[in-house]
Structure 1
Amino acid sequence: MTFESQNPATPAAPAPSRRRALTALAVTALGGSVVLSGCAVANSDGGSESAAAASDTLRVVLQQEPPTLEPCEANLTSTGVIDRSTVTEPLVERNPETGELEPKLATEWSSEDDTVWTFKLREGVTFHDGSDFTAEDAAATIERAVNSDLGCNVEGYVFGDDDLDVEVVDDTTLTVTAPQADPILPLRISFLEVVPSETSTTEKVREPIGTGPYQLESWDAGQKISLAAYDGYWGDQPAYAKAEYQWRSEGSVRAAMITSGEADIAMGLSPEDNIGDLGVPYPNNETVAIRMHNDKAPFDDIRIRQAVNYAIDKEGIVASLYGGRDQVAAQLVPEGIVGHNADLAPWPYDAEQAKQLVEEAKADGVDTGAQISLVVRTAQFPKIQELAQVIQEQLTQAGLNVKLKMLETSQQLTYQVRPFAEDEGDIGLMIQHGNQAGDAAFTVDQYMLSNGAQSAFGTPELDAMIEKADAATGDDRQAAFEEIFAYQNEEVVQFAHIAHQTGMIGKAATVDYAPNSSTGDELRLAEIKPAQ
């Protein structure tokens, strides 16, 4: 199959042929010690601008400060909302409205056997340091994010343990070979944000160099991140010359920044934040669930994991906390994702059945009084703390010993992604999973394989089912993933699904922008324009 651009951009004038010195701050781990490599980012000490920014500045307020802008961590919402298709760009990009892949830094891609894929790259593209983008950079990006020991989150999220064989044919041609036939390899590649070939493969970078419409101008830690439109961008210049991100954990505060004119876009809101008519809802493909570990009591007994599913009043949570806008979930992906099983029903709320299962397990010697740590990320989505408190109370009523742990992003990530943090209790992690790719492989490979990057456990039978589904196409692929979601609910029960969410942003009347299912993960600033 072959995909190509209908309207390839006219190549820009050739960039200087010099090769670049990497201009980034390298860090050995998120929040780790900083090592200066090359010269510092311009104006990195920041500057205090008036809250009433100039009209050529787009002002965005987020729920939290990103832990990093490392491009290979851009599948994390807090990083990707800034990086993806704004500072950095992928080879191909999924259209969130149609689900189709579209050209970005690659203009065509094709394969005869779904194993060897050839990408033709866009000419006339430069990085923010002025140097040329070539196939060498695309290859180095894949090697760094997928094949190295850097430990990029995107590796486990998208590619698992599989390495890719990458070959530079010429400056504008790249071949990528998968270890076995992979009909969705270009979709996987869309998760890789391209960086210069000189980018370190032993240290992660906090402040990236990309090819996007905006370049990083400054990061005033704890205060704001400033971007400036890149004059050498290969595509159309964005409407705003500058962009500024701030962050406030309280949704009502973010909403007030919109209504008072202090911000143009506010992320992660709900109607209860008093945003009024300036709140714009959108389907965000996010699903909230509790992921249970089974390496110690009490979750090492399936009856306790079943009890958790019965104990949570999902209908009540959706009605009381989210105004009935969300949909009670029976699986990790919503309708519209390849593999969604429409025949699955959510676990019913049955407090008495939950108590009975706990008592049965206790009678058989299970330590049902052992501590469960309910790990929750602060400000991850609206009313998350209230939700966590409701769940803690409902599980306590079922006879379980639950301690609530509200953690900042960098701390919570140590529980979310392998290798998991040790804890004094068994772990129930609140997850918010968004399948923006539109295919269940991006859910089950990371959350259900025995060694999945965000999977607490699995079974050999489930692993074999996933391997079969990943290689399937068409109706066979849909049926195979449907079977996986049913098997999880019946035989594994790693998850207590809660709800498929509906997102909401705050949008000033002076801004023209229609959010889509990808907005919460990648707010593409080039799509935002002043209202006419």
Structure 2
Amino acid sequence: MTFQHLRGATALGLILFALTGVPVAAQSTGAVTIVLPEEPPSLEPCDAKHSSIGRVVIRNITEPLTRLDPSNGEVIPVLATEWNQIDTDTWRFKLREGVTFSDGTPFDAKAVIAAFTRLDRTDMVCNTKQQTLGGIDLTVTEISPTEVEITSSKPSPILPTMLTVVQMSSPSMEVKGASRAPIGTGPYALGTWRAGQDITLDRLDGYWGDAPQVAKATFVWRSESAVRAAMVDQGEADVALIIAATDATNPDIDFAYPNGETTRLRINTSTAPLNDVRVRKALNMALDLDALKPIVGDEVTRAEQLVPPNTLGYDADLRPFAYDPAGAKALLEEAKADGVPVDTQIDLIGRDGIYVGAAEMLQAMQAMWAEVGLNVNIRMFDTGNWLRYQNRPFPEPNVPMLGQDQHDNLLGDASFTLFNKYDSDGVNSGLWDEEVDKLIATGENTTGAERETAFKQAFARIHDDLVADVFMYHMVGYTRVGPRVDWKPTIAANSEIAIADMKLAE
């Protein structure tokens, strides 16, 4: 995009701001404006592990019992002040006293029970329970108003880490559908949500922790990276999240950081022709993913498993599939000779704005697959409709399908990835394999070297033997931060933007 085009896009943004009433950041004393790539589908606390929701909700409106320090991975207190393990299945947590939700409801043991009960609802799939907690059932028992015991349905040696993803929400919240009006204990409360325009959060008086400097935060969304970046330049926004590497041109205000995300295409391994491992290998071998890096950023690295290298269970011995279109063609010809319908159309379910360059990446991959004889049809959806294809029961279960996916494991343990993504009972899994299931169960029930070895063996089987994914990249994020705000993104910024951490320039 040329400078003239950028100026035009910015001018259009200014006109839109004037028409919609969105505040201009530079004119908002004590306020910040954050521009996101997409509007969240809801603000449901039990769905806050969806990054589009978490960036607004987590540590702003709602808080967990514990959280991870992004600088060292240590579990630190939030709404729980201390904890200890009673036995292999049970932990006891002491709750912070004197805390209330923004609606005045006290935070106590009964509130914790209500928040965990919210995870088990049947009217919707709560991704915190199904995708992050690995399907483990957690039972909360009140010991006293300020103390609870949490018992897991199977041994959970890292339960305090697991609880960092569970948001405490007010018992007064309606348990019906995905909420658009969350109530939490955080330093901010929802002000307004003007659908299609903006979301505002207002600072709460009487917050139990340190009072944040920022009095008001406005979240807006623009799908184009260049527009988001330009809005910071023009003072229309203070923070522009997830900008393209090609737009991160100012080292003084553009920050690159490993964002914990790994990209893949999930393969529905149960439906022909994708139920043949030769076809799945051909899907990988047909792609020159090193050549495609500039679409998403030159700093990304090739992935061969769905967790980054700093995760317990990561297998450093695995290697990405090499680009080999001739080998891919040979595998497809062999499969076709055996009666596999390799000419069948394969649908690829994509999501608008899942990461910068996502649509362009799929189009480039589609062309490479066509060169080896694969017929892949791209179907792009907005976030809400894409989510329908993420979790079981899958729509169109008998259609051969690939699913565009981006997964973050910010908690440092492969258990937060393996069950949900690959277990036969995983809500987001396209794989059914008894050996993988056994390895996952072995790892989850142990600690130390035995846990790490089991997880490594699972990743090796998933990659080498089963080829369960089209493996893509370990991603790098870019965020632009304007001069009015003293704040730098960390790996946590992929799924949460803690406004209380921001300081305003004098």
What is the CA distance between 1:383 and its match in structure 2? 0.8
Match of 1:328 among 280, 296, 302: 302
Give the Cα separation in 1 of the matches to 2:308 and 2:177. 36
Give the Cα separation in 2 of the matches to 1:295 and 1:403. 18
Match of 2:239 among 265, 268, 271: 265
Match of 1:103 among 58, 77, 83: 77
Task: Find out whether 1:193 has 2:179 as its counterpart.
Answer: no
SS at match of 1:190: helix
SS at match of 1:519: helix
Task: Find out whether 1:64 has 2:46 as its counterpart.
Answer: no
Q: Any conservation in 2 of the 1:270–1:279 contact (CA below 8 Å)?
A: no
Match of 1:249 among 223, 226, 242: 223
The percent identity for this pair of structures is 38
Which residue is equivalent to 2:280?
305
Give the Cα separation in 2 of the matches to 1:88 and 1:354. 48
Give the Cα separation in 1 of the matches to 2:314 and 2:402. 24
Which residue is equivalent to 1:41?
none
Q: Any conservation in 2 of the 1:146–1:164 contact (CA below 8 Å)?
A: no
The amino acid across from 2:290 in the alignment is E
Task: Find out whether 1:459 has 2:433 as its counterpart.
Answer: yes
The amino acid across from 2:92 in the alignment is T
Give the Cα separation in 2 of the matches to 1:129 and 1:144. 18
Give the Cα separation in 2 of the matches to 1:211 and 1:165. 22
Which residue is equivalent to 2:421?
447
SS at match of 2:115: helix
1:391-434 deviations in Å (ceiling 9; x for gaps): 11111112111111111001111111122121784111111111
SS at match of 1:239: coil
- TM-score, with length taken from structure 1: 0.89
Give the Cα separation in 2 of the matches to 1:48 and 1:129. 28
Which residue is equivalent to 1:234?
208
Give the Cα separation in 1 of the matches to 2:505 and 2:291. 39
What is the CA distance between 1:297 and its match in structure 2? 1.9
Give the Cα separation in 2 of the matches to 1:160 and 1:439. 12
SS at match of 1:112: strand
Give the Cα separation in 2 of the matches to 1:531 and 1:471. 49
Task: Find out whether 1:373 has 2:347 as its counterpart.
Answer: yes
Query: Which structure 2 residues correspond to residues 281-430 of structure 1 after superposition, within 5 A?
Result: 281-318=256-293, 320-422=294-396, 425-430=399-404
What is the CA distance between 1:451 and its match in structure 2? 1.6
Which residue is equivalent to 2:8?
none
**Number of matched residues?**
486
The amino acid across from 1:211 in the alignment is T
Q: Any conservation in 1 of the 2:134–2:419 contact (CA below 8 Å)?
A: yes
Give the Cα separation in 2 of the matches to 1:408 and 1:147. 25
Match of 2:178 among 204, 207, 212: 204
Which residue is equivalent to 1:119?
93
What is the CA distance between 1:276 and its match in structure 2? 2.2
Task: Find out whether 1:48 has 2:21 as its counterpart.
Answer: yes
SS at match of 2:160: helix
SS at match of 2:192: strand
The amino acid across from 2:236 in the alignment is E
Q: Any conservation in 2 of the 1:150–1:201 contact (CA below 8 Å)?
A: no
Give the Cα separation in 2 of the matches to 1:148 and 1:195. 17
Give the Cα separation in 1 of the matches to 2:23 and 2:204. 23
Q: Any conservation in 2 of the 1:448–1:455 contact (CA below 8 Å)?
A: yes
> What are the ranges of 5 or more consecutive residues in structure 1 without an aligned counterpart?
1-45
Task: Find out whether 1:224 has 2:193 as its counterpart.
Answer: no
The amino acid across from 1:523 in the alignment is I
Which residue is equivalent to 1:19?
none
Give the Cα separation in 2 of the matches to 1:137 and 1:178. 18
Give the Cα separation in 2 of the matches to 1:109 and 1:423. 43
Q: Which moved more, 1:309-318 or 1:61-70?
A: 309-318
Which residue is equivalent to 2:465?
491
Give the Cα separation in 2 of the matches to 1:270 and 1:49. 24
Report the CA distance shift for 1:487/1:254 in structure 2 as closer, same or farther (over 3 A).
same
What is the CA distance between 1:259 and its match in structure 2? 0.9
Q: CA RMSD in A?
A: 1.6
Give the Cα separation in 1 of the matches to 2:126 and 2:346. 29
Instruction: Detail structure 1 runs of 4+ shifted over 6 Å in the superposition.
Output: none
- TM-score, with length taken from structure 2: 0.93
